[in-house]
Structure 1
Amino acid sequence: MREVAFIKQNKEKWLDFEKAIFGKTLKNPDELASLYIHLVNDLSYAQTYYPKSKTILYLNNLAAKAFQKIYKTKREDSNRFIQFWKIEVPLIVYQSRRYVLYAFAIFLTFVAIGVLSAAFDDSFVRLILGDHYVNMTLENIEKGDPVAVYKSGSNWGSFIGITLNNLYVGIKSFIFGVFGGLGTGYVLLQNGIMLGAFQFMFQKHGVLWESVRGIWIHGAMEIFAIVIEGAAGLLLGASILFPKTYSRVTSFKRGMKDGVKILISTFPFTIAAGFLEGFVTRYSNIMPNWLSVGIILITLGIISFYYLVYPFIVNKKLKKTYGII
């Protein structure tokens, strides 16, 4: 059968399935499961006879969304909270993995720009960080405690203030995605250039290691979360610019829904980073190297695994069980 005929023959069925999955009136789980079997059969047929067709991408995406809906409906009596973190978010991250890649590429590019700008322009660090902060940091370096700024204020005060600020940055990064992703790119630009200039300042004064073993105790989760929030914003922007087979409104709603879930998934990591900054980083100068480096590696490992490795594990299990790629 020619692909055109295949699409024409099944188009109405697929559209009805879309309505069942994304519409306000939902079918019961058994009906959805029955429709799902037909959809997977169509997907397998397309994979066999039209291996390079965009139809496969469409059916694969629809099948993945259908699985989430069916799984959610059938497991409504189970712990919804656990399923959100264990299945739903990892699948969305896997489906949005290109935006995670884009966010990291954009952020690291701006970090490099920050480093190079600071290296070739002595006034750049002050322009980005401000005279007050730079002067205070230089005084701390002279006193032999480069990250003394993290000792200011009370533990709880620092934790709450820092956490609220980081949550605000993350939410802003996501919401600004409505400007076609450009707003999110600007937030990544701000934070990337600031990080690059910030770390170069310590490098220039010969205390890079001291800064790394202190700042990255909380920075590993904090910075990583900002990048993931940026990915959510880019996803939102793409849903507006590139609706694919959906109407622009429907695509935006889907992008908003998936993006919000990714955004929410970063909150525990942001809160954990705030806790570490308020209660642990301030003691980094008296910690043995193995402890500070251990905390950095553990925190970076946890968040990296959840967003970069675990989604592939969940998807592989899904593919093995249901034939979705």
Structure 2
Amino acid sequence: MSGAALAPSFGLSQFRAERESDWQRLEQLLDLVEKKSPKRLTNQDLIELPRLYRATLSALSIARETSLDGSMIAYLESLSTRAYFILYGCREPLWHQVGSFFASGWAAAVRGIRGEIVLIAALFFASALAGYALVLSDPTWFSALVPGEMASGRDMQASADYLRGTLYDPPEQGGLEVFATYLFTHNAQISILAFALGFAFGIPTFFLIAQNGVMLGAFYAVFVPKGLGWGLTGWLMIHGTTELSAIILAGAAGLHIGRAVAFPGMRTRFAAAGDAGRRGALVMIGVVIMLLVAGLLEGFARQLIVDDGARYAIAALMLAFWILYFTLAGRSLDDRP
């Protein structure tokens, strides 16, 4: 007999007759939800919907096992899929989802990778110290550590007056906007790569974060000996408390995935990576927002504000905001089952 043939005691017409009323009723309820509103369902409909879904799944299983008509199987698969998304899919309005993300989701995801954050932050600042010491001990290292387009004349041969001008002169005189744009683009690329390459056991992430820290330290080795360390810090940190925090979070999210791949525990490696990836993705959505905020601070505040006190005040305010937000936002929801 052909694959569509039925067992003697199991006819297609009988199978359909016994169950078709349930399928039609389920389809009617799904149409009501999809074309109008879930609010149109009565209490009886809400009780009936899961039962009809389970009955349809059971019919689909039987149809597959007994090789019933292919068009019927396709119909039942489509009906089951629609019911699944109605019952288990997220139908929360977009603005509710956005509000939930900022109210608790983002901060909770960040707190979930706090161990990786501490490790990445330690690596970054240790690398910065290493870069500073290395360039001070041998100035020829500067050109090896810092790309020429990033340095833009800010190297070991630059005079104190020239370096001071790059910190305080208007952009058209100091060329500050070119360096600022390059720095922002570079840091955005580092953030994305540090996260995206985390699946390789976090090794590329470590390298990228260390490289960025070394370059920062190399710049300090140029400015500090000329008495401009304080000014450089204010110039960088007016946006850097946001931008560097974003880089550290991106690196931590990448490392979180790498750690899950390397040490999945009792779960399969695929399941562990999936859980870590979902948390990391939440963190990275926030990182993009932080980079946009840093870009605004870099493009406007740092260009227009040349007073060190004001720069440090803005930097401290932004740092305090991020620390308080990630520490407190949604904290009461963390212990939910």
The TM tier, using the shorter chain, reads: 0.5 to 0.7
Q: Please list the CA deviations of residues 246-272 of structure 1 after superposition, one character each: whole Å capped at 9, or x if unmatched.
A: 111111111111111111111111111
Whole-angstrom distance in 1 between the partners of 2:221 and 2:315? 20
Contact 2:253-2:280 within 8 A present in 1 as well: yes
Q: CA deviation at 1:150?
A: 8.5
* Two-structure CA RMSD over aligned residues (Å): 3.0
| Aligned residue number for residue 153 of structure 2 | 135
Aligned residue in 2 for 1:295: 314
CA distance in structure 2 between the aligned counterparts of 1:229 and 1:192, rounded to whole angstroms: 14
| Residue correspondences, number | 246
Aligned in 2, Cα 1:264/1:150: closer, same or farther, shift over 3 Å?
A: farther
Is the Cα–Cα contact under 8 Å of residues 146 and 207 in structure 1 kept in the other structure? no
> Does residue 118 of structure 1 match 2:118?
no
Residues 238 and 311 of structure 2 are in contact (CA less than 8 Å); yes or no, is this contact kept in structure 1?
yes
The yes-or-no answer on 1:255 pairing with 2:273 is: no
Alignment counterpart, residue 151 of structure 1, candidates 164, 168, 171: 171
Identical-residue share of aligned pairs (%): 21
Q: Where does structure 2 lack aligned partners over 5 or more consecutive residues?
A: 1-46, 48-88
8 A contact 2:104–2:333 mirrored in 1: no
Q: Assess if the C-alpha contact under 8 Å between 1:125 and 1:197 holds in 2.
A: yes
By how many angstroms is 1:74 displaced? 9.1
| Larger Rg computed on CA atoms | 2
Cα displacement (A) at 1:202: 0.7
1:136–1:159 distance in 2 versus 1, CA, 3 Å: closer
Partner of 1:99: 116
Distance 1:112 1:150, change over 3 A: farther
Query: For residues 226-284 of structure 1, what are the alpha-carbon distances to aligned partners after superposition, in whole Å with 9 as ceiling and x for unaligned?
Result: 01110001001011111112111111111111111111111111111111212222234
Q: What corresponds to 1:213 in structure 2? A: 234
1:181 and 2:198 are equivalent in the alignment? no
1:128-155 deviation digits (Å, cap 9, x = unpaired): 1246726345647324414269825697
The TM-score, its normalising length taken from structure 2, stands at 0.64
Aligned to 2:4: none
Matching of residues 166-177 of structure 1 within 5 Å: 166-177=187-198
| 8 Å Cα contact 2:192-2:250 kept in structure 1 | yes
Contact 2:166–2:176 under 8 Å retained in 1? no
Whole-Å Cα distance in 2 between the matches of residues 178 and 149 of structure 1?
43
Contact persistence 1:150–1:278 (CA under 8 A)? no
In the TM superposition, residue 306 of structure 1 has moved relative to its aligned partner by 2.7
Match of 2:6 in 1: none
The change in CA–CA distance for 1:184 and 1:77 in structure 2 (over 3 A counts) is closer
CA distance in 1, matches of 2:183, 2:131: 23
Unaligned runs of 5+ in 1: 1-29, 31-71
Structure 1's 215 and 93: CA in aligned 2 closer, same or farther, altered over 3 A?
A: closer
Distance 2:179 2:137 in 1: 34
Structure 1 equivalent of residue 217 of structure 2 = 196
**Are the counterparts in 2 of residues 92 and 262 from structure 1 also a CA contact under 8 Å?**
yes
Q: Is the 8 A contact 2:106 2:286 kept in 1?
A: yes
Cα–Cα, structure 1 residues 165 and 121, in superposed 2: closer, same or farther, change >3 Å? closer
Aligned pair in 2 of structure 1 residues 169, 290: CA closer, same or farther (>3 Å)?
same
SS of the equivalent of 2:264 reads: coil
Q: Which moved more, 1:235-244 or 1:127-136?
A: 127-136
Which residue of structure 1 aligns with residue 41 of structure 2? Answer: none
Residues 174 and 233 in structure 1, CA contact (< 8 A), matched pair in contact too = yes
> Take 2:213 and 2:318, find their aligned partners in 1: how far apart are those partners?
20
